């Protein structure tokens, strides 16, 4: 082999090795980590939003966004890129957020700390100017959101409705709704929601309405921030170019990110005025009625009659307690557990609660049960109202007395003695001991042995009782949420023909199933909270992410116009069943 052939061989054999070496060498000489914060705009109006990007070069980091007070922050995801400049490689990790202004004026995005492996870095502050809302009507847009509350100055304990409305003329995907902070209220989302079409300004919109029932927990001034909907607007190609342009392959489709937000609401929650009336305040707030019945009204002493006290109306009827009953003497009362028939609708809680008791008279006579009184706070008039049921009367008849049975015997013949001669028939089976050694003292038990023998059953029962109580307290929330999850899944399976109700039941089933793993109650979860609960319960990262993704997919389907796709609904139901099997609900 001559020199030229050898050189060509060496070039062919070692050239790739040298190239890989020189390409990889700069990776070992990266510059020190850097961090910067950039925004896509510095001037906007109320109702608009901006995008904040925090970029970490040369390392991975975690930004602390808690100093941001003038904006509501919504995470939009993370991306990683590798760049090569002048033969040197650098890695960048970008964190993207949507910022929604909470007020007008010259607002500040303060310096943000970012923790990296090499230490803590800090971004530069950014000034944002926010002016008043634009005068252009929302109906000129293809998609927008609105919200309103049914009451801006409710009383403590008074229910009111927060309504979220989505108007759209375009198809959307990947919808994620962030409701306002309801921490000072109890909140329940209704299963019922509306979808309809309406014409605004000569343009037809499809409208989706969601309802949340809020009940203030304390008096004071509160602000409900804007609800935020992140979604992608779907733009489809007008022309089809063969088989591979089918939407199944995602070709011919363009997704445009969009962030919608509603207005904020300032609420003034009023305390209930002091109660100075007669009787006892029931704690009910709303509009209520009371009625009583008794059956039968005429009975015998020792028999039983059923007294029914029914409280119905609109408000916190599920919190009703049995009012005071002034029963006359001569009755025994056996109360049953209350029966609830309460429904949650877009107008709030309504229904009735029935209390029943068995009355057993012990003596005859005519008895009168005075009217039972109910006192509640009427939100319409702002006053305490007392209502009374009708007076009840009972007629008690004497019970039938048992007749004494006369014992009759046949007469005996005269001069016949009733005495019999006593005869000796034999000795006892066990012979009597007549000797002196039969009298012996038994060894008496010690005091310690006696106490152990006497108290050990009581101690065992006490320990079992404590174990049952502790076990019941520990497991009760988990069992309750697991039972609710199963019921919601069954309701979803039975309502597949009604898509809107199906998605509501399925969403609640996943929420309750995840909460059953944390031993806590609730009605809603964010995707991050759902994943954290499963991680804390010992499930893998893959399972936690899978559950959060399922929750996001169900919520997104409620807004994305996929309500009529039966195959998609069946697929979601299948994934939910697999989640139930995974976490053993």
- What pLDDT is recorded for position 73? 84
The predicted model gives 194-205 an average pLDDT of 84
Q: How far is the C-alpha of 554 from the C-alpha of 569, rounded, in Å?
A: 9
- What pLDDT is recorded for position 223? 93
Least confident of 132-141, 266-275, 379-388, 393-402: 132-141
Mean pLDDT of the chain: 79
- What pLDDT is recorded for position 252? 60
Helix (H) or strand (E) holding 531: helix 527-536
- In this structure, whether the domain defined by 138-269 belongs to CATH 3.30.110 is answered with no
N-term to C-term CA, the chain: 75
Higher pLDDT, 330 or 468: 330
The yes-or-no verdict on residue 208 having pLDDT over 50 is yes
Question: Token match 């069943």: residue?
Answer: 577
- What pLDDT is recorded for position 373? 94
Is pTM, for the whole model, over 0.75? no
- What pLDDT is recorded for position 295? 93
Least confident of 55-64, 179-188, 233-242, 498-507: 233-242
Angle between helices 499-515 and 447-494 (to 10 degrees): 160
User: How do residues 97-136 score in pLDDT, each as one tens digit?
Assistant: 888 888 888 888 999 988 887 788 888 899 898 887 655 5
What's the pLDDT band for 86 if we cut at 50, 70, 90?
A: low
Least confident of 15-24, 30-39, 54-63, 156-165: 15-24
What's the pLDDT band for 436 if we cut at 50, 70, 90?
A: very low
- What pLDDT is recorded for position 509? 87
Selection from 258, 263, 221 nearest residue 103 by Cα? 263
The predicted model gives 1-22 an average pLDDT of 50
Q: How far is the C-alpha of 486 from the C-alpha of 584, rounded, in Å?
A: 11
Q: How far is the C-alpha of 289 from the C-alpha of 287, rounded, in Å?
A: 7
Considering the chain, tell me which residue range(s) the CATH 2.60.40.10 domain(s) occupy: 27-131
Q: Pull the structure tokens for residue 419.
A: 């005495």
- What pLDDT is recorded for position 542? 85
What torsion, rounded to 10 degrees, do the Cα atoms 262, 47, 507, 527 define?
Answer: -140
CB distance 303 to 342 below 8 Å: no
> What sign has the CA pseudo-torsion 533, 534, 540, 542?
negative
Q: Which residues pair with 315 in a beta bridge?
A: 286
Considering the chain, tell me which residue range(s) the CATH 2.60.40.740 domain(s) occupy: 285-397
CB distance 258 to 143 below 8 Å: yes
Q: How far is the C-alpha of 465 from the C-alpha of 459, rounded, in Å?
A: 10
Higher pLDDT, 252 or 461: 461
The yes-or-no verdict on residue 1 having pLDDT over 70 is no
- In this structure, whether the domain defined by 27-131 belongs to CATH 2.60.40.790 is answered with no
The yes-or-no verdict on residue 211 having pLDDT over 50 is yes
> What sign has the CA pseudo-torsion 57, 59, 65, 71?
positive
Answer CATH for 285-397 from 1.10.10.10, 1.10.3290.10, 2.60.40.740, 3.40.50.880: 2.60.40.740
What's the pLDDT band for 220 if we cut at 50, 70, 90?
A: very high
Higher pLDDT, 329 or 311: 311
> What sign has the CA pseudo-torsion 404, 410, 415, 416?
negative
**Separation of CA 519 from chain center:** 12
CATH topology of domain 473-582: 1.20.120
CB within 8 Å of 511: residues ≥ 6 apart: 522, 523, 524, 525, 530, 551
- What pLDDT is recorded for position 278? 84
- What pLDDT is recorded for position 387? 94
- What pLDDT is recorded for position 31? 58
Q: Do you find a cis peptide bond into 44, omega within 30 degrees of 0? A: no
CB distance 552 to 575 below 8 Å: no
- What pLDDT is recorded for position 428? 47
Least confident of 385-399, 487-501, 530-544: 487-501
Q: Pull the structure tokens for residue 448.
A: 């310690």
- What pLDDT is recorded for position 394? 92
Least confident of 38-52, 128-142, 194-208, 407-421: 407-421
The predicted model gives 64-88 an average pLDDT of 76
The predicted model gives 356-377 an average pLDDT of 93
- What pLDDT is recorded for position 451? 66
What's the pLDDT band for 505 if we cut at 50, 70, 90?
A: confident
The predicted model gives 325-351 an average pLDDT of 91
- What pLDDT is recorded for position 559? 65
The predicted model gives 466-484 an average pLDDT of 66
The yes-or-no verdict on residue 227 having pLDDT over 80 is yes
């Amino acid at each position: 082999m001559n020199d030229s052939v050898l050189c060509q061989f060496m070039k062919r054999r070692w050239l790739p090795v040298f190239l890989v070496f020189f390409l990889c060498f700069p990776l070992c000489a990266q510059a020190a980590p850097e961090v910067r914060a950039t925004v896509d705009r510095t001037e906007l109006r109320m109702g608009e939003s901006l995008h904040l990007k925090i970029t970490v070069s040369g390392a991975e980091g975690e930004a602390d966004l808690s100093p941001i007070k003038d904006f509501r922050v919504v995470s939009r995801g993370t991306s990683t890129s590798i760049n090569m400049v002048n033969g040197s490689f650098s890695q960048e990790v970008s964190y993207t957020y949507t910022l929604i202004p909470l007020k007008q004026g010259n607002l500040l995005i303060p310096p943000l700390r970012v923790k990296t492996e090499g230490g803590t870095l800090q971004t530069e502050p950014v000034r944002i100017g926010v002016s008043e809302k634009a005068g252009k009507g929302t109906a000129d847009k293809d998609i927008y959101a609105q919200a309103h509350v049914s009451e801006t100055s409710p009383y403590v304990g008074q229910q009111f409705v927060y309504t979220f409305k989505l108007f759209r003329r375009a198809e959307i995907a990947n919808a994620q709704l962030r409701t306002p902070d309801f921490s000072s209220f109890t909140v329940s989302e209704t299963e019922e929601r509306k979808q309809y079409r309406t014409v605004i300004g000569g343009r037809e919109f499809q409208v989706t309405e969601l309802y949340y029932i809020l009940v203030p927990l304390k008096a004071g001034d509160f602000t409900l921030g804007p609800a935020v909907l992140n979604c992608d607007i779907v733009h489809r190609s007008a022309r089809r170019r063969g088989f591979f342009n089918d939407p199944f392959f995602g070709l011919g489709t363009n997704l445009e990110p969009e962030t919608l937000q509603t207005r904020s609401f300032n609420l003034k929650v009023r305390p209930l005025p002091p109660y100075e009336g007669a009787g006892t305040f029931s704690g009910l707030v709303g509009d209520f009625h009371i009625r009583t019945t008794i059956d039968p009204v005429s009975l015998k002493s020792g028999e039983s009659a059923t007294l029914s006290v029914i409280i119905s109306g609109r408000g916190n009827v599920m919190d009703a307690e049995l009012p005071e009953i002034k029963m006359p003497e001569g009755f025994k009362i056996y109360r049953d557990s209350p029966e609830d028939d309460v429904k949650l609708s877009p107008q709030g809680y309504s229904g009735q609660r029935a209390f029943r008791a068995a009355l057993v008279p012990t003596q005859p006579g005519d008895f009168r049960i005075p009217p039972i009184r109910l006192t509640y706070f009427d939100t319409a008039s702002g006053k305490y109202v007392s209502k009374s049921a009708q007076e009840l009367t009972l007629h008690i008849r004497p019970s039938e007395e048992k007749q004494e049975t006369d014992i009759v015997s046949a007469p005996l013949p005269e001069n016949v003695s009733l005495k019999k001669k006593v005869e000796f028939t034999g000795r006892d089976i066990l012979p009597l001991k007549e000797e002196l050694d039969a009298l012996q003292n038994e060894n008496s038990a010690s005091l310690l042995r006696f106490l152990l023998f006497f108290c050990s059953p009581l101690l065992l029962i006490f320990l079992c009782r404590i174990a049952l109580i502790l076990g019941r307290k520990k497991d009760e929330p988990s069992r309750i949420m697991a039972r609710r999850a199963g019921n919601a899944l069954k309701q979803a399976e039975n309502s597949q023909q009604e898509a809107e109700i199906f998605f509501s039941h399925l969403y609640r089933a996943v929420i309750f199933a995840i909460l059953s793993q944390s031993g806590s109650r609730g009605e809603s979860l964010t995707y991050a909270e759902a994943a954290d609960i499963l991680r804390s319960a010992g499930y893998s990262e893959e399972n936690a992410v899978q559950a959060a993704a399922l929750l996001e997919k169900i919520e997104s389907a409620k807004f994305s116009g996929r309500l009529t796709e039966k195959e998609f609904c069946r697929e979601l139901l299948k994934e939910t069943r697999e989640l139930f099997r995974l976490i053993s609900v």
